[in-house]
């Protein structure tokens, strides 16, 4: 039932997962509310975190709350006739080096959680490096000698969850964009970035675009991912950093050979590799990443005050950029042990994927503490995409003040702590991109 006091107009800045899912949720729950979605590009936004050919759909979380939500979302994806066309149940292998430490602890908690939730026959445990290697290459495959990669083995134990899958995220975003276009209460304003939140006496009344145009609304939602800290002062609760991604072309024979391999990830090294899709194999690393520090006018005060933030430098703004040499070396180091025939193959293309990171890897879905009628939905931390079917309803619950208390606490503004295994990254601080950036030209 529609709430009588819900705003008559809402501006959503950002046409990614948070933005599109929330726009659709508002249109369905409050069909008389006018929703305007604004983005600098038309979705699927090509340099946004939401636009990607292969994304993991898994409920293997150390955190039982995310595990439950991910399982719910996966069921909705599987039941959606449009999304299901782009969904592939490949299974996913979680490996690690087996050495005592936080990554082994995270791996163990993930395995324990998934064993409690689902049929044990859908879990395949691997207790040796040989079993991990053969899960990709088949029962006749022979392990690569350590002498060929010059270090100790890191892919030593693992388990495969056969219920896990990957999805074409770009096509899924396109589906949600088309669904939003079909709603008479939703309008899009794409092509011109937002410059600032428009405020009156401490109340958000819409946004000002870079071309000077003003879009008015009773409530404003910032859902701009890694760009969010350029529009609101997030007080260090979120930072923008990027991880390395690369694609390798594979032949038809190689596609046939590896078509049944699971998505495979190593908690200890951060490496991820996907099965062939469209004659390509994607790999990435959940590295400490890279930042791009710039000085901008304070987004909530007058232009005389400046602040430093990390702002994405992407394929749109810098189309000749390729990943840093050290990032390429780390990807190839993992390939030498796991996929040796690809280790020296030229990358077809690479990119840095920009993420809105929080220290706990929890999202920030909350009212702004200083500006009334302004809400924030950001901090996806590299794992929000899988919640596409449900995240908009939870953002809307937050906007209405009726978000479940455990989620309100988890996604509150100002939450402190560290990642307990929701989106674990290799230890270390993000490096300044300006010192290591490379150009393909």
Question: What's 120-169 look like in SS3?
Answer: HHHEEEECCHHHHHHHHHCCCCCCCCHHHCCCCCCCCEEEEECCCEEECH
Percent of the chain with pLDDT over 90: 89
For the segment 164-207, what is each residue's pLDDT rounded down to a tens digit?
999 999 999 999 999 999 999 999 999 999 999 999 999 999 99
pLDDT at 425: 79
pLDDT at 105: 92
> Is residue 3 pLDDT above 70, yes or no?
no
Each domain of the chain, given as residue ranges in start order, spans 9-439
For the segment 240-286, what is each residue's pLDDT rounded down to a tens digit?
999 999 999 999 999 999 999 999 999 999 999 999 999 999 999 99
Alpha helices (runs of H) in 206-339, residue ranges in sequence order: 252-258, 325-338
pLDDT at 303: 73
> Is residue 2 pLDDT above 60, yes or no?
no
> Is residue 53 pLDDT above 90, yes or no?
no
Confidence of residue 23 (pLDDT cuts 50, 70, 90): very high
> Is residue 302 pLDDT above 90, yes or no?
no
Residue 124 in contact with residue 160, Cβ under 8 Å?
yes
Structure tokens at 134: 């053969």
Between 270 and 426, the more confident residue is 270
Residue 162 in contact with residue 123, Cβ under 8 Å?
yes
- Residue 135 CA to residue 122 CA, distance in Å, equals 14
Between 56 and 303, the more confident residue is 56
- Which helix (H) or strand (E) is 222 found in, with range? strand 219-222
Arithmetic mean of pLDDT, 311-337: 96
Percent of the chain with pLDDT over 70: 99
Whole-angstrom CA distances from 243 to 136, 285, 357, 397, 428 are 24, 7, 11, 31, 13
Confidence of residue 440 (pLDDT cuts 50, 70, 90): confident
For the segment 61-101, what is each residue's pLDDT rounded down to a tens digit?
888 899 999 999 999 999 999 999 999 999 999 999 999 99
> Is residue 420 pLDDT above 80, yes or no?
no
Arithmetic mean of pLDDT, 303-307: 87
pLDDT at 423: 76
Residue 350 in contact with residue 282, Cβ under 8 Å?
no
pLDDT at 354: 96
pLDDT at 9: 98
> Is residue 1 pLDDT above 70, yes or no?
no
pLDDT at 113: 83
Structure tokens at 432: 């300044």
- Which helix (H) or strand (E) is 74 found in, with range? helix 64-79
Q: Which CATH superfamily is domain 9-439 in?
A: FAD/NAD(P)-binding domain (3.50.50.60)
Confidence of residue 417 (pLDDT cuts 50, 70, 90): confident
Arithmetic mean of pLDDT, 416-425: 79
Half-sphere exposure of 89 (CA within 13 A, CB side): 10
- Residue 433 CA to residue 287 CA, distance in Å, equals 13
Confidence of residue 426 (pLDDT cuts 50, 70, 90): confident
Arithmetic mean of pLDDT, 141-165: 96
For the segment 358-377, what is each residue's pLDDT rounded down to a tens digit?
999 999 999 999 999 999 99
pLDDT at 177: 98
> Is residue 4 pLDDT above 70, yes or no?
no
């Amino acid at each position: 039932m529609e709430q009588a006091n819900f705003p008559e107009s809402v501006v959503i800045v950002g046409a990614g997962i948070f933005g599109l899912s929330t726009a659709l949720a508002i249109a369905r729950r409050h069909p008389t509310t006018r929703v305007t979605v604004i983005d600098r590009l038309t979705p699927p936004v090509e340099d946004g975190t939401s636009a990607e050919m292969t994304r993991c759909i898994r409920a293997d979380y150390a955190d039982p709350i995310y595990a439950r939500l991910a399982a719910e979302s996966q069921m909705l994806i599987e039941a959606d006739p449009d999304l299901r066309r782009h969904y592939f149940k490949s299974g996913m292998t979680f490996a690690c080096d087996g050495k005592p430490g936080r990554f082994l602890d995270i791996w163990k908690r993930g395995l324990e959680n998934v064993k409690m939730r689902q049929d044990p026959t859908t879990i395949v445990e691997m207790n040796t490096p040989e079993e991990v290697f053969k899960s990709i290459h088949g029962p006749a495959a022979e392990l690569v000698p350590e002498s060929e990669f010059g270090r100790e083995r890191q892919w030593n134990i693992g388990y495969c969850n056969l219920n896990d899958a990957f999805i074409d995220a770009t096509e899924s975003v396109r589906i949600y964009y088309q669904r939003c276009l079909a709603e008479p209460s939703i309008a899009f304003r794409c092509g011109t970035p937002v410059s600032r939140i428009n405020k009156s006496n401490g109340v958000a009344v819409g946004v000002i675009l870079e071309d000077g145009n003003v879009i008015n609304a009773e409530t404003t939602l910032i859902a701009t991912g890694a760009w969010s800290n350029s529009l609101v002062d997030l007080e260090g609760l979120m930072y923008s950093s990027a991880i390395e991604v690369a694609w390798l072309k594979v032949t038809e024979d190689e596609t046939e050979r590896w078509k049944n391999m699971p998505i495979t990830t190593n908690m200890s090294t951060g490496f991820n590799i996907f099965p062939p899709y469209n004659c390509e194999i994607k790999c990435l690393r959940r590295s400490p990443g890279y930042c791009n520090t710039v000085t901008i006018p304070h987004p909530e005060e007058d232009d005389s005050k400046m602040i430093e933030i990390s702002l994405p430098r992407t394929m749109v703004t810098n189309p000749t950029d390729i990943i840093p040499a050290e990032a390429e070396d780390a990807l190839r180091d993992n390939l030498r042990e796991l996929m040796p025939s690809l280790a020296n193959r030229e990358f077809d293309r690479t990119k840095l994927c920009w993420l809105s990171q929080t220290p706990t890897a929890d999202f920030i879905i909350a009212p702004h503490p200083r500006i009334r009628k302004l809400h924030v939905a950001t901090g996806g931390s590299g794992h929000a995409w899988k919640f596409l079917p449900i995240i908009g309803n939870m953002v809307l619950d937050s906007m209405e003040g009726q978000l479940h208390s455990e989620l309100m606490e988890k996604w509150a503004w100002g939450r402190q702590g560290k990642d307990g295994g929701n989106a674990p990254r290799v230890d270390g601080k993000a490096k300044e991109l300006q010192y290591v950036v490379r150009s393909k030209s």
